[in-house]
Amino acid sequence: MARIANTWNAPEGFSHQLINVYVDTTPNAGRVDTLRDGPFVLFDSRHAWDVNIKIMGWGGTRVYFASDDSSSSGVYDGVFAEALPDHTTIRAVLPKKVVGEPSDSWKYYVLVASQDGYGPDNHRPVMSKADAWVFGGGSDLDVNPNVIDILAPESGPRSQHSQLGSWSEPDRRLAVLYPANADGGATFGIRAATILAAALLSVAVLGYFAARAVRGRPGS
């Protein structure tokens, strides 16, 4: 992250960031919508997600699956997140038995939002105008992404700007996102590693958060 703040003293060491990692692990399976309303995005139908790692403070880090329903509480046993001492990295750790053995064929979506315990699925809304508890530059119709940052190429049709801006208010069309490594290139800052003894999958997500400082309500 460009900066990690812990204004509300979350035990994980970060208060504002809400990170969702969606992983396409199985060809011709998964879903293209999110489990619950909140991010307001869709995913490339060729790379539907099977596993969702939701990374947030106050003990909210969970693993969800495409087969879950919206009332699922997710998997949290052995799952946790923490800010590292470098003050720029958030690491989420989860049992490898939960998600399976990582493969080079897996595709990853990484979405960064701002955590709001009162927002839809803990997402701070992006509205048409910025206010004390919301971002601006979007719509008031729950059609634009409540997402601040994604891992994507810096330019071109798959850039962050192109993907997050692909929504349409008149058509009530959600933005469609593509995996950071859709073309097989290592264009994303995710590394999967086996942690000795615990045999855990450690996902270190590196990227930019919003350039502007965000002050928010506790995420409890």
CATH of domain 17-205: 2.60.40.1190
| Spatial separation of the C-alpha atoms in residues 110 and 130, rounded to whole Å | 24
H-only helix segments in the chain = 96-99, 160-164
Q: Which of 105-119, 121-135, 181-195 has the lowest mean pLDDT?
A: 181-195
Identify the three-state secondary structure at position 179: coil
Per-residue CA distances from 81 to 35, 103, 168, 178, 181 (Å): 21, 22, 34, 25, 23
52: left (phi over 0), alpha (psi -120 to 50) or beta: beta
Per-residue pLDDT for 113 more than 80? yes
Identify the three-state secondary structure at position 161: helix
Per-residue pLDDT for 219 more than 90? no
* 147 in Cβ contact with 41 (< 8 Å): yes
Residue-level pLDDT at 183: 79
pTM: 0.85
Per-residue pLDDT for 212 more than 50? no
Residue-level pLDDT at 194: 26
| Per-domain boundaries in the chain | 17-205
DSSP state of 75: B
Average pLDDT of the segment spanning 115-143: 96
